[in-house]
Amino acid sequence: MYQAQPPLEFIPPKYNPWFLRLTHLLLPLWMRSQTALTTVEAENAEVLTDLYSQFQAGKIRFMLAFRHPKTDDPVALGYFFSQIMPKVAQKQGIKFKTPIHAHFIYDRGIPLWAGSYIGWVAQNLNATPIQRGKADWTGLRSARHLFVNGAFPMAAAPEGATNGLSEIVNPLEPGIAQMGFWCAEDLQKAGRTEQVLILPVGIKYGYVDEPWDEISNLLTELEVKSGLAASTESNEDLFSYHYFRLLRVSEHLLTIIENFYAKSYRCQLPIISTELTSDKNEALSMRLQAVLNEILKVAESYFDLQPKGNLSDRCRRVEQAGWNCIFREDFKDMKSLSSVEKGLGDRVAEEANIHMWHMRLVESFVAVTGTYIRENPTAERFAETLLILWQMVVRIEGGNTSKRPYLGKQTAKIIIGEPISVSDKYSTYKTNRQSARQAVADLTKDLQISLEKLI
């Protein structure tokens, strides 16, 4: 990422049934040895087995729109498909012609930070990549073709990225709804009668045992790294004591970040006075939103972008602008470039990567509120918030944020919602361009509500 490179190549999906069988066979062992997950449970799975049966009978085409709180989500879903769904189908007396699987749509950037082998794995599992933040016509055509003609249903995360929180859904991107309407359009043009559906799928994580000792140790680590003296506050209520420490270290870190951006980048940060709010949580949330906005402006200013939309939208535009400086169209033929041209290209790539760092800092906090823990004071919510804070500190230190601290064994619960009919809304979509935009917005809103209900 510090050197200019040719444009990212599309990784074409290539279904390998033997590799899929091997993946299904080894997944339980891999999950328990390489992740904190010990069990995966399912709710309302019968809805999905019925949809798969209709899909294989040629009656419907559908996409699973799943929540994406963590990077463990593909593992949990893979376990659900390979271990739970066959048993549920057997109880219902349903026999499937092919393995239970889906054409996953994934971010083309994942193999860049997770390793190129991830691209190979995704390719052989018939997943299809797409570049976020730009009109990736090759990626869109692939996903559109698979939605209409693929051997399996589609699967994608409408949030576009993880947010680290099991019980908050990010604002959804409109791509899922748009692809649903494209599928209905393509089917109608082909004279086919399948109905098009989108199925909301929730994913929630929990701890087998409440990890308060591990939480305390991680709080101590963050206190030390941020230069805070050990807390002398005593409280018999374990939760209240840890919450006090979390607020204390959060306020301290936020002050450090505010001072850094005010001094180094001349950011103008508002003063949150007691006249605006006397609630410490609300004040912290207001300060956080203000500094996130200013941090993004630093990156946007470098790439000459206007701050439009919500934080997630702005992050995607910054990311794509950075990629355009690193993966360059004019570097397709690297051999034809002189060493001077390559060197100058590398300087631009290095600067772009540095400014994308600001965006990564914001990306971790797009869903964080000042009330998430207080609304439902559970160990799970506490741990999720603390891990986001840890990720920020490690990112500032220049460490590896993918190697997260182990807080304890976890469980995952897959919750299947009720399918949303795209076909029923297609007549409105095809009326005119304005109606199409409104239909996409309305369908995205319906999906947002459905996913929020599942948590």
Count Cβ atoms within 10 A of the Cβ of residue 230 and give its class: 0-12 exposed, 13-18 middle, 19 or more buried: exposed
pLDDT, one tens digit per residue, over 349-402 is 999 999 999 999 998 888 788 789 988 999 999 999 999 999 999 999 999 888
Q: Is the pLDDT of residue 229 over 90?
A: no
Q: Give CATH superfamily name and number for 17-208+410-454.
A: Glycerol-3-phosphate (1)-acyltransferase (3.40.1130.10)
CA 315 to chain CA mean position, Å: 12
The span from the CA of 262 to the CA of 198, in Å, is 45
Beta strands in 26-172 (DSSP E): 37-43, 60-66, 103-107, 128-130, 154-156
Q: Round to whole Å and give the CA distance between 227 and 218.
A: 14
User: How far, in Å, CA of 366 to CA of 311, rounded?
Assistant: 6
Q: With cut-offs at 50, 70 and 90, classify the pLDDT of residue 238.
A: confident
Query: What are the start-end ranges of the E strands in 79-180?
Result: 103-107, 128-130, 154-156
Task: Look over the chain and give the mean of its residue pLDDT values, rounded to a whole number.
Answer: 93
pLDDT band at 239 (very low <50, low <70, confident <90, very high): confident
Contact 251, 277 (CB under 8 A): no
Average pLDDT over residues 148-166: 94
Q: Which residues pair with 62 in a beta bridge?
A: 197
Q: How many residues does the chain have?
A: 455
Tell me which H or E stretch contains 185. Answer: helix 175-189
Half-sphere exposure in the Cβ direction for 398 (13 Å, CA): 2
Model confidence over 265-319: pLDDT tens digits?
999 887 776 555 567 888 888 899 999 999 999 999 999 999 998 898 899 999 9
Segments making up each domain of the chain, as ranges: 17-208+410-454, 212-397
The answer to whether residues 94 and 39 touch, using CB atoms and an 8 Å cutoff, is: no
* Backbone phi, psi, residue 72, to 5°: -80, -5
